[in-house]
Amino acid sequence: MNLRRYLPIAALFCAVAFASAAQIDDATKQLSRDIFRQLIEINTTDSTGSTTVAAEAMAKRLTDAGFPENDVQVLGPNARKKNLVARLHGTGGRRPILLIGHLDVVEAKREDWSTDPFQFIERDGYFYGRGTQDMKDADAIMVITLIRFRQEGYRPDRDIILALTADEEGGKSNGVDWLLQDHRDLIDAEYVLNPDGGGVYTQAGKAVMMSVDASEKIYADYQLEVKNPGGHSSLPVPDNAIYHLTDALARLERYRFPFELNEVTRTYFQRMAEVESGQTAADMRALAKNPPNRAAIARLSTDALFNAEMRTTCVATRLDAGHANNALPQTARAIVNCRILPGHTSEEVRRNIVQILADPSIAVRYVSDAGDISDTAPTERPSPAVTLRPDLMNALEKVSREMWPGAPVIPTMATGASDGVFTDGAGMPTYGVSGVAIDFNDVRAHGRDERVRVQSFYDGLEFYHRLLRTLTSPQ
Ligand SMILES: [Zn+2]
């Protein structure tokens, strides 16, 4: 889940604009709404839902629109977690572009919501339902865009591949990972667009910025463990497992990983300086200087998001120690969760933690996604920092200017993880790109009463149509 994050912009008063009205004919509008509704009303939760049903429904939409059966496949490692892969053939002038979107949604309980989360409801200018923000809106948009291209007889200069997949939010059958392992040929591409990240941010319906996720931090968990012979708590001794651990965690709390920018985060701060104002804007400009201004770094580091954009972070997330109220602890354990800058390895950070804790009685081990614990962490670099492709950035800026004039395009390194971590890791640079606008204060992904503005959905549809045409027309 690459939850659209709240961007803490305190003082936004830059020029803002409404989207120029999307030019979508009534038939396309109706079809789009029908496909969006169909997706919302198919339960795709890990517990009781099925992405297979959704994948098959979208496959039928595509073949009904004239896609050859050979170019539309539904496949997966188990019956309930299948994925859709479809291909619109181009002239083959360049390597394909891959579009990815997850079909699964986070659990939603009827009693928590004002309406049935698996019923598509239009009310007060919004579409409501689980997945309206994350990310069946974009799944529908990508399917419809392929159908429109087909109807228009459009021949791109490269293949456009669409993969709608299982288990991004959880579950053991991640579709992107599985496709890369078992069917790489089906989805191999020069680069990837993933509308699970990025998007247009609005205030009171007016566009403020278009955020584009480029590169993701790497997720890593570490287990800290102290063993001790223990003893009777009436006779305490200085060598105490809990105090060893808590003293060391206090050192970790005070430690800050080194400041480091890459192409994406440097551009992020430069462009955010135009959106922000006052001291914050001045500090963002000072970051780019060589050497960077230390006071500026310190001030910006007090903001959780800015801090996460400029360094690796590690934080204690769990603690577990002792076995009886009247005994000295024999074991004390903590879990530390790190989000690592691209270009660094999990093992490198494990060794950093050992140094920061500065206590040889503490074993620092790596915990894999599957929960396996090992003495060392992976040493391969999962993904290099993604670069900002000029062809993509130019196309984004052009289409964004047409639709949301005055709202800058701002690249962002995602601090959470999405399926892009797999495609980035497979050497296909991945960009979180979406034209669906959401208000800063209306981010409801994973939450109750998830919704998207009706107009935002159609604007997002028009955006993908224009963007993909720009990216796949001969230069
Ligand atoms: Zn998502």
Whether the Cβ atoms of residue 199 and residue 213 lie closer than 8 Å to each other:
no
H helical segments located in 240-345? 241-254, 263-275, 278-287, 294-301, 304-310
Q: For residues 275 and 374, give the distance between their C-alpha atoms in angstroms, rounded to a whole number.
A: 45
DSSP assignment string, 265-277 = HHHHHHHHHHHS-
CA of 138 to the centre of ligand 1 (A): 10
User: Is residue 167 classed as helix, strand or coil in its secondary structure?
Assistant: coil
Residue indicated by tokens 């941010």:
201
- Identify the pLDDT of residue 19: 55
Q: Measured between alpha carbons, how far is 96 from 158 in angstroms, rounded to an integer? A: 5
What is the 3 CA–ligand 1 centroid distance (Å)?
6
Burial code (b: 16+ CB inside 10 Å, e: under 16) for 226-239 equals: bebebeeeeeeeee
- pLDDT averaged per 10 residues in sequence order, the chain, 475 residues: 41 47 83 98 96 98 98 97 98 96 94 95 96 96 98 96 95 94 98 96 88 92 97 96 98 97 94 92 90 94 95 97 97 97 94 98 94 92 80 96 94 90 92 92 83 95 97 86
Q: Ligand 1 centroid to 319 CA: how many Å? A: 29
Residue 283 Cα to ligand 1 midpoint, Å, equals: 32
pLDDT for the residue numbered 21: 52
CA of 136 relative to ligand 1 center, distance in Å: 9
Ligand 1 centroid from CA 414, angstroms? 12
In this predicted structure, what is the pLDDT of residue 83?
98
User: Which of 473, 406, 401, 463 has the alpha carbon at shortest distance from 434?
Assistant: 463
Q: Helix (H, G, I), strand (E, B), or coil: what is residue 347?
A: helix
pTM of whole model > 0.85? yes
Q: How far is the CA of 129 from the centre of ligand 1 (A)?
A: 14
Ligand 1 centre to CA of 356 (Å) is: 34
pLDDT in the model for residue 203: 86
Please give the distance, rounded to the nearest whole angstrom, from the Cα atom of residue 200 to the centre of ligand 1. 16
Per the CB < 8 A criterion, the answer to whether 241 and 321 are in contact is yes
> Up-side HSE of residue 51: CA atoms within 13 Å toward CB?
33
DSSP string, 88-121: E----SS--EEEEEE-------GGGSSS-TTS-E
Per-residue confidence (pLDDT) for residue 3, from 0 to 100? 38
CA–CA distance, 114 with 121 (Å, rounded to integer): 11
DSSP 375: S
459 Cα to the center of ligand 1, angstroms: 19
Distance (angstroms) between ligand 1 centre and the Cα of 350 equals 29
Please report the pLDDT score of residue 171 as a whole number: 87
Torsion, Cα 162 168 171 172, to 10 degrees, reads 60
pLDDT at 290: 81
> Given this model, what pLDDT does residue 22 score?
57
Q: Closest Cα to residue 139, out of 32, 6, 28?
A: 32
Whose tokens are 């169909």? That residue is: 38
Average per-residue pLDDT in the chain?
92
Calculated CA dihedral for residues 51, 57, 58, 63, nearest 10 degrees: 140
Q: Is the distance from CB of 414 to CB of 198 less than 8 angstroms?
A: no
Helix orientation angle between 454-472 and 26-41, rounded to the nearest 10 degrees: 110
